[in-house]
Amino acid sequence: MNLPDNLRFSKSHEWIIIDENNTAKVGISDFAQHSMGDIVFINLPSVGDSFDAGDEIGDVESVKAVSEIYSPVSGTVSAINEELLTSPELINEDPYGSWFIEIEGATIDDSITLMTSSEYEEFCQKES
Amino acid sequence: MYNYLPSTDSQKSEMLKSLNLKSIDELYSSVPHHLIVENLDIPEGISEFELVSKMKDIANKNTVFATVFRGAGAYRHFIPSIVKHSVSKESFVTAYTPYQPEISQGILQSIFEYQTNICELTGMDVSNASVYDGASAAAEAVSMCRNNKRTKALISGTVDPRVISVIKTYCDAADAELVVFGEKDGLSDLDSLVEMLDETVSSVYIQQPNFYGLIEDCVRVSDIISKSGAKFIMGVNPIAMAILKTPGEVGADIAVGEGQPLGMPLSFGGPFLGFMASKRELLRNLPGRIVGQTKDKNGKRAFVLTLQAREQHIRRDKATSNICSNQALCATTASAYLAAMGPNGLLEVAKQCLSKAHYLKDKLTDLGFSPVYKGEFFHEFLTYSPVPTNIVLEHLEKHGILGGLPLGNRILWCATEVNTRQEIDRMVALLAEVVK
Amino acid sequence: MKLIFEKSVEGRHCASLPKNDVPEFELGDELRRSHPPRLPEVSENELSRHYTSLERRSFGVNSGFFPLGSCTMKYNPKVNEDIAKLEGFTEIHPLAPVNSVSGCIEVLELLKKLLLEITGMDNLTLQPSAGAQGELTGIMMIKKYHQSRNDNRDKIIIPDSAHGTNPATASMCGMKTINIPSNSEGRVDISRLKEVAGEDTAGLMLTNPNTLGVFEKDVLEITDIIHKSGGLNYFDGANLNAIMGVVRPGDMGFDCVHLNLHKTFSTPHGGGGPGSGVLACKEVLSEFLPYPNFFNTSDFYKTEDIPEKSIGRISGFYGNFLVYLKALCYILSLGKTSIPLSAKTAVLNSNYFKNLLSKKYNIPFPNDCMHEFVISMKDEAKNKGVTANHIAKMLIDRNIHPPTVYFPLIVKEALMIEPAETEAKELLDEVAEIFLEIYDIAMNDPEMAKAAPINTEISQPDEVLAARKPVLNFYDEENVDV
């Protein structure tokens, strides 16, 4: 399983990276894209929307399924990856290069566990 | 007694034996015993011959008017025989929703052709595979525009009151507001529309031609709405689309309508056909089935149900609508009708509707049935009645003519290509007898 | 094959219209569309052949065995089609005066009486055009019932085996869905139901037999729990064919029920519609029924003054008249003996067929199945890579319409099978042999399963491409083939 060490992972299979300015990028893990299969569409929030950690921020569609995406942190959407709206296949091809949204003022909340790559690997093994 | 059960009694015994059962009733052992119906209180079955005579007797109790001047949402048009024959084919009639593309290319292609026809008629980018009827299409269109910030829908008072009622039913269920804005001279009062538009308005619904048959200034409506962020929904008559400016041309966001005029008989109101089309950017909000073109594993063109992840069987409580069927056979009827007519035939139907309705209006005006409104109209118009409407209409009915629809002391008349000059002149002569 | 638009030749025509015999009226240019619609221009012969070709590429009940679960693909009697073509029914304007439509009203009243007896209900509306619209009508009525009592209950309880329309309907009515799990027998988990039923419960939606084909034997307790909590019970009639004339929703504690006339009462599915989703209810909900209630003929023309308690109109006119006319014909033909006999025969056929298939296929909820049962290909998918979809496609090569695939959601790799009562024993024997043979082939050579179907005009269309780059009409700018 492809699991970069610099990322953190949520139990609902989002990855997150937070920089020194508390700006976060969020996407879905390799495990998630693989279990979804070919992704055909994503719904993303609008720039300016604010979320609490654990809120639903959009969803990912395959041909026969839909999966919600949850925000691993609280904050305000400062950018969305518009390229994914027209080329959702990028999520399958490069899940960690395909960030969904950028969150400003990202604040970690105790209610959402963020795992290291090795913890997440163990979590996924249990789940499958 | 008749039924359609092929297995013989001895076959059924064999089947029961293989299951180690003595009677079929044992298969109902999980049903609480006292709930089993002992004596269903309905008549014994009848033979096919008896059924046909019984139903013919019932049908004969209805009056089939030789001449019809009534529309108001259901229109009598000429239906070529080829249309009826094309859609009566057994595998169209008895198929299910085309879930298995490999054995459903016929139905899928037929719906794809239907979607193309609807886009061409309305000038829109995308169409769904149809919904129940024009009224439910309107209600679904209003629902698809609503969001958390924009919760209120506006609708013109010149829309068919039955359509307004159905939209209201859907809005009430969703606890959403529907506001009817006024009319002026039989047309939507656009000044009042301007006043009512605010950032809570999700959509504005206008009917073209409107319930009184008048042609609305949709270019102006579109101008007014475009700055507001609300969506412009146009309910259109598909025959009128052969000649009138399309929703696409005026800049509407969604076009819906009753497809019955496209080859479906009046049938006491159903089955009819609700069509729905929109701009491409609203595609994901369109409810219902949608057929798309793709390629099969050998690169051959193929059609499939697509964008299904929007729908209830996947999205469940998050789906925008619960609809899970379409009026496939009626959609095929519409396509067969449009192919039989072609662009020139459909234009001729529309022109004759216009011409006959205007001829009728002139003759009625001469008799004292003066038009209520001055605006330009398509194939319907409202007049006053110089004598009580029931006297007028009952006199016509006695002579095999279904006159216009009474609305208080006024009458809504309709003429289409099937109304000949002779019919119109005859009716006018009959009316002359009652207004004397 | 070519699309009708690809067969079009400019200037060709089909239908013949009479010449205009009145002065031509010219519409002002400012009102007219600028370009004509690009409709096909074909001859009548071409049009006839086009639809014949399309029909050949379709599969109906007339084409072969059609065991599509929860869809009740029974034989559609031809006489009913003929009756629905009588001019005395097709040429009737929905707003014609009441005294000219006594035949139509007789149809409505006859059908009403029969359906009320079959459902055990007190009143009904024929307006809903499909099962999903019937559901919507029923839940709207339940909502209005609670509102009329100043009670703002907003939770609808739905088992996890339910059709997706149930939660989608609840949502359209502003209600929240509470899912309850099924127990190991495939039935509603009563203890869980007791936990969730309470003062916020607006109602329960239940399909019985459920989508596993299993009858909810505790149905009386279930409906009682809901009633005691102050909620109402909705019966989803999707599977009524198993119990038609044998057990009545009204006797099981339900307050309303929708009927899919296109399933239970033999009206054809039409490739997706038109159907009819009659909604019947108990007295407690009667005043909330859609308007107009045209059994009261004085309301016939009215478009306003909707009674305060009615949910309002649900259909432009009165629903799909010609469809429910066919259902009436069906009930009149079968009558009191053959209506329940048909249900029982459907249950016998299903149990017989299940028994034959159980030699090889895994049926996770095998007990007390009625008119349908569900196979799981979970182990085969894991061990051999042979999925429910592979089996479905292999059946296509044998001229059998596949069962419902991947539903209900609570069974992994589901194949849901409903062999209706109108199939003969020898056909079930023959088809069962094919199912078993296919199973062996797939297990021995999974690659062969994955290649199916091979006998069809197209095979395994790319659904991902269709969804990622939607081409939805012939002139679509995305259609590079144009």
Q: B140-160 pLDDT, tens per residue?
A: 999 999 998 999 999 999 999
Q: Treating both helix axes as pointing N-terminal to C-terminal, what angle do C425-444 and B9-18 enclose, rounded to 10 degrees? A: 40
Mark C429-449 as b/e (b = at least 16 C-beta within 10 Å): eebbebbeebbeebeeebeeb
**pLDDT given for residue B256 in this prediction:** 98
Chain B contact set for C168 (CB, 8 A)? 312, 315-317, 319, 321-322
Is residue C8 within 8 A of residue C42, CB to CB? The reply is yes
Nearest to C406 among A41, A64, A89 (CB): A64
**pLDDT given for residue B317 in this prediction:** 82
Please list the residues that pair with B154 across neighbouring strands.
Answer: B179, B204
Band of pLDDT at residue B221, cut at 50, 70 and 90: very high
Chain B contact set for C22 (CB, 8 A)? 355-356, 358-359, 421, 424
Chain B positions contacting chain A at CB under 8 Å are 284, 307-309, 314-315, 318
C315: nearest Cα among B274, B364, B435: B274
The verdict on a CB contact (< 8 Å) between C463 and A63 is yes
Chain A contact set for C468 (CB, 8 A)? 38, 40-41, 88-89
Q: What is the CATH number of domain A8-112?
A: 2.40.50.100
The verdict on a CB contact (< 8 Å) between B4 and C342 is yes
**pLDDT given for residue B376 in this prediction:** 97
Mark C75-94 as b/e (b = at least 16 C-beta within 10 Å): bbbebbbebbebebbbbbbb
Lowest mean pLDDT among A59-73, B21-35, B232-246, B313-327: B313-327
Residue B60 falls inside a structural domain: no
B196 and B255 both lie in a single domain: yes
B358 and B329 both lie in a single domain: no
Q: How close does chain A come to C204, measured CA to CA in Å?
A: 25
Residue B171 falls inside a structural domain: yes
Q: Treating both helix axes as pointing N-terminal to C-terminal, what angle do C388-396 and C425-444 enclose, rounded to 10 degrees? A: 120
What is the number of structural domains in chain B?
3
CATH fold for the domain made of C338-465: Aspartate Aminotransferase, domain 1 (3.90.1150)
Tell me whether A85 touches chain C (CB under 8 Å).
Answer: no
| Placement of tokens 């008017």 in the chain | B65
Q: How many CB pairs under 8 A join A and C?
A: 14
Tell me whether C447 touches chain B (CB under 8 Å).
Answer: no
Please tell me which residue of chain B has the smallest CA distance to C253.
B35
Nearest to B165 among C143, C312, C476 (CB): C312
**pLDDT given for residue A3 in this prediction:** 84
The pLDDT mean for chain A works out to 92
Angle at C264 between CA C261 and CA C270, to 5 degrees: 55
The verdict on a CB contact (< 8 Å) between B314 and A40 is no
Mean pLDDT of B372-391: 96
Which CATH number among 3.40.47.10, 3.40.640.10, 3.40.1350.10, 3.40.50.720 corresponds to the domain C80-330?
3.40.640.10
Chain B contact set for C432 (CB, 8 A)? none
Is residue B95 within 8 A of residue C269, CB to CB? The reply is yes
Please tell me which residue of chain B has the smallest CA distance to C398.
B103
Angle at A65 between CA A62 and CA A71, to 5 degrees: 85
The verdict on a CB contact (< 8 Å) between A64 and B284 is no
Nearest to A41 among B309, B315, B318 (CB): B309
B286 and B374 both lie in a single domain: no
Rounded to an integer, what distance in angstroms lies between the CA atom of residue C450 and that of residue C427? 26
B160 and B286 both lie in a single domain: yes
Task: Name the domain boundary from B314, B336, B358.
Answer: B336
Is residue C320 within 8 A of residue C267, CB to CB? The reply is no
B158 and B129 both lie in a single domain: yes
Domain boundaries, chain C: 80-330, 338-465
B72 and B100 both lie in a single domain: no
Q: Which of A36, A38, A39, A66 to mutate to test the interface with C (most CBs of C within 10 A)?
A: A38
Q: How close does chain C come to B23, measured CA to CA in Å?
A: 10
**pLDDT given for residue C302 in this prediction:** 56
Chain A contact set for C467 (CB, 8 A)? 40-41, 61, 63
B16 and B72 both lie in a single domain: no
Torsion of CA B275, C40, C60, B308, to 10 degrees: -50
The pLDDT mean for chain B works out to 96
The verdict on a CB contact (< 8 Å) between A40 and C406 is no
| Longest distance between any two alpha carbons in chain B, whole Å | 84
| Placement of tokens 């299903």 in the chain | C350
**pLDDT given for residue C301 in this prediction:** 54
**Residue B2 pLDDT more than 90?**
no
Nearest to A88 among C406, C463, C468 (CB): C468
B107 and B198 both lie in a single domain: yes
pLDDT tens track, chain C, 482 positions: 999 999 999 999 888 899 999 999 999 999 999 999 999 999 999 999 999 999 999 999 999 999 999 999 999 999 999 999 999 999 999 999 999 999 999 999 999 999 999 999 999 999 999 999 999 999 999 999 999 999 999 999 999 999 999 999 999 999 999 999 999 999 999 999 999 999 999 999 999 999 999 999 999 999 999 999 999 999 999 999 999 999 999 999 999 999 999 999 999 999 999 999 999 999 999 999 998 876 655 555 555 667 889 999 999 999 999 999 999 999 999 999 999 999 999 999 999 999 999 999 999 999 989 999 999 999 999 999 999 999 999 999 999 999 999 999 899 999 999 999 999 999 999 999 999 999 999 999 999 999 999 999 999 999 999 999 999 999 987 777 65
**pLDDT given for residue B1 in this prediction:** 58
B35: containing domain? 9-52
Please state the pTM of the whole predicted model: 0.96
The verdict on a CB contact (< 8 Å) between A41 and C463 is no
Please list the residues that pair with A68 across neighbouring strands.
Answer: A59
Chain C contact set for B55 (CB, 8 A)? 83, 86, 329
Chains that touch B (3 or more CB pairs under 8 A): A, C
B362 and B216 both lie in a single domain: no
Tell me whether A63 touches chain B (CB under 8 Å).
Answer: yes
**pLDDT given for residue B393 in this prediction:** 96
B232 and B91 both lie in a single domain: yes
Tell me whether A93 touches chain C (CB under 8 Å).
Answer: no
**Residue B319 pLDDT more than 90?**
no
Task: Name the domain boundary from B302, B336, B370.
Answer: B336
Q: What is the DSSP letter of C77?
A: -
B171 and B38 both lie in a single domain: no
B161 and B127 both lie in a single domain: yes
Q: How close does chain B come to C274, measured CA to CA in Å?
A: 5
What is the number of alpha carbons within 13 Å of residue C305 lying toward its C-beta? 6
Mean pLDDT of A105-112: 88
Tell me whether C44 touches chain B (CB under 8 Å).
Answer: yes
**Residue B45 pLDDT more than 80?**
yes
Tell me whether A63 touches chain C (CB under 8 Å).
Answer: yes
Backbone angles phi, psi at B391, to 5 degrees: -65, -45
Task: Name the domain boundary from B293, B317, B336.
Answer: B336
